Amino acid sequence: MRMAELAKNIRELKSILYGNSESELVSEACAHLTQEFFRENTLRLLIVFLPQLNLEARKDATKIVANLQRQQVNSRLNASDYLEKNTDLLDILIAGYANTDMALHYGVMLRECIRHQTVARYVLESPNVKKLFDYIQPPYFDISADAAATFKVKHDWQRY
């Protein structure tokens, strides 16, 4: 019962950030939700507890985390500041490739996070970057393709 309620709440959060067929996107609500996600460490909870969610809630949580990377509040990307102070979350996202059920969800999140220059720098300088090369190797085509896509994120990697 509680997991169903949690999944419903996650779906509602996604509809605030993306809108839905019944309501328009409200930028003030997006800004407020973005601030609360980072202030209350909700982003951390979604990433850490993603494996405990059902598939639909995982999909919604993945979209929420990805969307929050692009949300600006007062012309600032709060996600970049938050991740710079919580780099352990990036290590969790990279390690997520080892779990075949979670790899694609964590891969989407990681690709969105590394669009921030400071986050990309951390990942490239981290010992965990070597793990990404391991994940590109077979036996799982979908995971290796996803890990390879992470390296293809539109960045000028040489700047870092």
Q: What is the pLDDT of residues 32-46, one digit of tens each?
A: 999 999 999 999 999
Print the SS3 string covering 70-104: CCEECCEEHHHHHHHHCCHHHHHHHHHHHCCCCHH
Q: Per-residue confidence at 136, pLDDT binned at 50, 70, 90?
A: confident
DSSP state of 158: G
How far, rounded to the nearest angstrom, does the alpha carbon of residue 68 sit from its chain's CA centroid?
8
Q: pLDDT tens digits for 88-103?
A: 999 999 999 889 899 9
Q: Per-residue confidence at 158, pLDDT binned at 50, 70, 90?
A: very low
Q: What is the mean pLDDT of the chain?
A: 87
What pLDDT does 151 receive? Answer: 67
Residue 31 structure tokens: 């800004």
What pLDDT does 154 receive? Answer: 54
Q: Catalogue all structural domains in the chain, each as residue range(s) with its CATH number.
A: 2-159 (1.25.10.10)
For the segment 47-55, the average pLDDT, to the nearest whole number, is 95
Place of tokens 């694609």: 104
What does pTM read for this prediction? Answer: 0.84
Per-residue pLDDT for 159 more than 50? no
- Count the alpha carbons within 13 Å of 150 in the hemisphere toward its beta carbon: 32
Per-residue pLDDT for 137 more than 80? no
